[in-house]
Structure 1
């Protein structure tokens, strides 16, 4: 299948932005003790450093759905597409609970096992494989229905319900359970809302087959419609996000409160805002041929490779940082602390940006090499899974 430049560019852009969030998470002074979107403790720079990265996960999941549609169109073979989605979905779940979780925590005991975006995409592929015989429009409408209604689950009495009901609610809401002595499983990305985004992406996949000028027009209209609907629903302050906005002492923080939507799980307003922004970027990117655009697509052609490798570049820097700051191996705390000491370690936000820039630059030749390797070896089918 011929690669789609729009998808590769958008994927590459969000992969670049994603690395900023992970560098901040692992290295910033306050990342272990402070939420960057808590308006009681944050500042504007820290808030937007986190907020802008909200674009990444919904974009990546949406484009996974769109790519699945384009792959089906290229194959014109539903059984083969179903097998590929099933095997890739299972493979992504295995990766999540092995290489990804270890890359995040560097904890050989796997004392904190987290279900995140890679596993959510894996589950989404498996469900999509079961639905793939349905008309594209039906799949897209199903996704939109999930996004519109899944926030209603928060009103169910699951907190005091039976264990089966709690497990069922974990498909929609975050939750944590011990899975062995001193080990915790955390459902960070409840799969159903993210499935909704993937199904919407599948339903919108035909847009990427249009000529560039028509693509630009469709994405522009879709983006403006989504953002307009976001503003309308957010102003009512009734439904669409569990975090209501409120007037703050400073006008700027009132704006931050308005924009401070919920990612875990992705609320309706979260989806409207960030998928709307994604559509505007896709619209603006149509037909661009600047050198920097081509460089961004290098990352987007090898997204899973980038995702896996960047953890193993960032995480060793945690240990370099703490040892340079005078800590000893005995001070390291593993689990959900990335191996950092309980307190006293970290770098300032400006230094986070410098490290992030270095990571992105280092990943460029690696992704470029791997992209060329894949292109030279189409016979190696395993490369399709990385």
Structure 2
């Protein structure tokens, strides 16, 4: 395999990662500044609009793709590192990600320096998954693949237990499987919010790790593209069949609505918290097809996405702080005071946000575009810095 082919292959991963990072920012900007952010579910077919619905739905692609690609990238690292080196790196980076989630990301989202609410989001799920993969990566490939398949295909069987009358999820159940914005006290007036139960996400990262074999020199570019197209198409077909049966694979069955469009929206409304089998099938199916298409695309736009993809963690932290800073400026621009923010904190645990206040979806898109434009020079600088300072070991953690 030539070096140019290898570079192109890696570029396709970075470009897709960059695309989902850009899309992800749309959802977070919407959470911060949309006037309906805390007044209803954008995926509720009875109350939402198609524009709002798809604005939210398209961002569902981000977290599973990012987790899957993280696993894929780890497999590529396993080619360059010994099992001991890879295991050590994954364990340390996993611990580092947990610290970042608890300290930097929780602060960015809440703007609460007293940490009354600590969030367990996607960085937490990736961090704990890396720690687990640090041990699993020492096992034979087929064993790791079997573990990933069992988790992803089987975790929705727990939904039947949850549906039993009188069932109550406790802390460990929420942490491992359910955790749909479950709140638990830590000490005093400090609380923990479980948004990403890690087991299903760990299963997805494991499958991403195993899928990385198709991005090695064992497969030519042509062979790999055929595999990607077949796999992506299979997953989308599997999703349609699974969702049509409407018995297993998602805790919330779809239902016929008053119109064909509304029925379609109900069909496509799959569960992210926790990620259901149906959800992972459709989102990863789209992601794998995108990888197939992106492998042979190289232009100015793909180069922009590549920069975001190569600096994804740096971008992730910055975009939260910038989005919340914009929210804060707009809050005071509307005539509010700090006292107003503290009063609103009793209802929404994120400072400088008030339910029902904000801006239209068109303004959300405008702010999102401005945020992306403002982040690009910073990410481009950091990408150049990383490239020029490969000898700095700590850069591998950022």
TM-score (norm 1): 0.95
Shift of 1:138: 2.1
1:230 to 2:239 alignment: yes
Matching of residues 256-335 of structure 1 within 5 Å? 256-332=265-341, 333-334=344-345
CA contact (8 A) 2:37 2:356 kept: no
What is residue 213 of structure 2 aligned with on the other side? 206
Counterpart selection for 1:55 from 51, 61, 81: 61
Counterpart selection for 1:145 from 150, 165, 169: 150
Between 269-278 and 135-144, report the one with greater CA deviation: 135-144
Between 337-346 and 222-231, report the one with greater CA deviation: 337-346
Once the two structures are superposed, residues 126-145 of structure 1 have per-residue CA deviations (whole angstroms, 9 ceiling, x without a partner) of 00011111122321221121
What is residue 393 of structure 2 aligned with on the other side? 381
Shift of 1:370: 0.2
1:23 to 2:29 alignment: yes
- The number of residues matched between the two structures is 384
Once the two structures are superposed, residues 186-236 of structure 1 have per-residue CA deviations (whole angstroms, 9 ceiling, x without a partner) of 111000000010000011001112332222211110010001111111111
TM-score (norm 2): 0.92
Counterpart selection for 1:132 from 134, 137, 140: 137
Between 175-184 and 227-236, report the one with greater CA deviation: 175-184
Rounded to whole Å, the distance in 1 between the matches of 2:171 and 2:211 is: 33
What is residue 42 of structure 2 aligned with on the other side? 36
Rounded to whole Å, the distance in 2 between the matches of 1:90 and 1:191 is: 14
CA contact (8 A) 1:237 1:245 kept: yes
Gaps of 5+ in 2: none
Rounded to whole Å, the distance in 1 between the matches of 2:102 and 2:299 is: 39
Rounded to whole Å, the distance in 1 between the matches of 2:266 and 2:171 is: 30
Shift of 1:256: 0.3
What is residue 189 of structure 1 aligned with on the other side? 196
Shift of 1:101: 0.6
Rounded to whole Å, the distance in 1 between the matches of 2:49 and 2:229 is: 32
Rounded to whole Å, the distance in 1 between the matches of 2:65 and 2:18 is: 11
Gaps of 5+ in 1: none
CA contact (8 A) 1:102 1:110 kept: yes
Residue 124 of structure 1 aligns to a residue whose secondary structure is helix
Shift of 1:344: 4.5
Rounded to whole Å, the distance in 1 between the matches of 2:77 and 2:63 is: 21
Rounded to whole Å, the distance in 2 between the matches of 1:345 and 1:351 is: 13
1:180 to 2:187 alignment: yes
What is residue 253 of structure 2 aligned with on the other side? 244
1:349 to 2:356 alignment: no
Rounded to whole Å, the distance in 1 between the matches of 2:332 and 2:352 is: 10
Shift of 1:287: 1.1
CA contact (8 A) 1:241 1:269 kept: yes
C-alpha spacing 1:159/1:84, structure 2 compared with 1 (3 Å): farther
**RMSD in angstroms over aligned alpha carbons?**
1.8
Rounded to whole Å, the distance in 1 between the matches of 2:214 and 2:28 is: 32
What is residue 351 of structure 2 aligned with on the other side? 339
